[in-house]
Structure 1
Amino acid sequence: MQSSSDENSNDDNRRSDIVKIKKELEESEKKFYKELSSKYFLLNEFTINQLKDMCTNLLGKGPDIEYHEDKQTKKMIPLPQYKEDYIHFIIEEFEFSEIKQYALGNHIVTSQFFEK
C-alpha cells in the first residue's frame, strides 16, 4: 500500500511534467509563428519543382493528395497540387534554418537574399 506522501510525490511529478510539456509546446508554437513569414517569403523563391524536390529528397514524400468524387462516374479523381500546397506542407514540416540551408545548398537563393 502506498503512503499518502508517495501519492503526493507522484502527483507533484505529474504536475511538473505537465507544466514542462506545456512550456515546450508554447515555445514551439511561438517559434513557429515567429518564423512563419520568413519561411513563406523564402519558399516563394522556389519553383514548384524545387519544392517537390525538397519534399522528396528530405522527407521522401510531399503533401497528401486530396480527391474529389465525380458525381456521374463515382470515381475518385485526384485534385491537382499547386505551389501553395507544397509551401504549406514545408512550412509545417521544417524549421526556417532547415529551409535556409536547403535553399543555399541547392543554389535557390544566395546569401545576399538573407541580408535584405
Structure 2
Amino acid sequence: MGIALIALASAGASPAAAQQTTHGCACLHNQTQAQISYRYKWGEGEWKTMQLKPGYQNWICWQYQNAQKSSPNLLFQLDVDMSKGSAWTTYTIGRVQTVGASCDAVGKGGHYNVSYRPNTNNTFIQVTKRN
C-alpha cells in the first residue's frame, strides 16, 4: 500500500465565525470519467466505504463533540486502480472547521480533487489538493 501525503491546511476564521463552527470537514471532487471508490475511518472507528460518481463531490465531516472543536485522526484510502483490480492507497486529508456538514460549508483549504494520474493512460487515479 503506497502512502501519499498532502499538506494539512488550516482555515483562517474570525473569532465570530470560529464560535459557530460545528464540524471538521473535507470535500472530495471526482474529476474522472468513472465512478471511484474510497474508504475512511475516524480514529479507531469502523471503515466506511463510499463510491462517488464522475463529476460529483462529497464531504467527509466529523461533528464536534467538545468545546475544543477537535476530531479524531482521519484515515483516508482511495482505490487508485481503475481496472478490475484494486490498489488501496492511503492519503493524508486535512480538514477545516465548518459551520455544517456539506461541501458548500468547506473553505478553500479543505477541497481535494480525485483525478487521473498523469502518464498512466487513465488506469490510475490520485488525490491532490484543490487550488
Same-fold call, TM cutoff 0.5? no
Q: Which has the higher strand share?
A: 2
Q: Which has the higher contact order (CA 8 A, sep 6+)?
A: 2
TM-score by length of 2: 0.20
